[in-house]
Amino acid sequence: MSHITTEDPATLRLPFKEKLSYGIGDLASNILLDIGTLYLLKFYTDVLGLPGTYGGIIF
C-alpha cells in the first residue's frame, strides 16, 4: 500500500539533485529553441532582406 503523508505542501522542498535535473532538461530544450531562433533571424535578414531591428522585434 502507499503511504499517505499529511505534511503541509508549503513546507515541502525539492532536493538539490531534482532541481538540477529539471534545470539540465530545460537547458537542452532552450538550446534547441535558440538554435532555431538564430537561424530564423539570419534567414529574415539575409534572405528576406528585413532590417535587423525588425527581425529582433519579431523575437
Using CA atoms, how far apart are residues 46 and 51, in angstroms rounded to an integer?
Answer: 9
In a domain, 50, yes or no: yes
Q: Is residue 20 in some structural domain?
A: no
Let me know if residue 49 belongs to a domain.
yes
| pLDDT at residue 1, rounded to an integer | 59
- Per-residue pLDDT of 2-57, as tens digits, reads 777 676 667 778 899 999 999 998 998 999 999 999 999 999 999 999 998 998 88
Question: Could you give the number of structural domains in the chain?
Answer: 1
Quick one: pLDDT band at residue 58, thresholds 50, 70, 90? confident
Output 19 or 58, whichever has higher pLDDT: 19
Q: Distance between CA atoms of 8 and 38, rounded to whole angstroms?
A: 44
Please report whether residue 51 resides in a domain.
yes
Residue 56 in any domain: the answer is yes
In a domain, 1, yes or no: no
Q: Per the confidence metrics, is the pTM higher than 0.95?
A: no
- Whether 38 is in a domain gets the answer yes
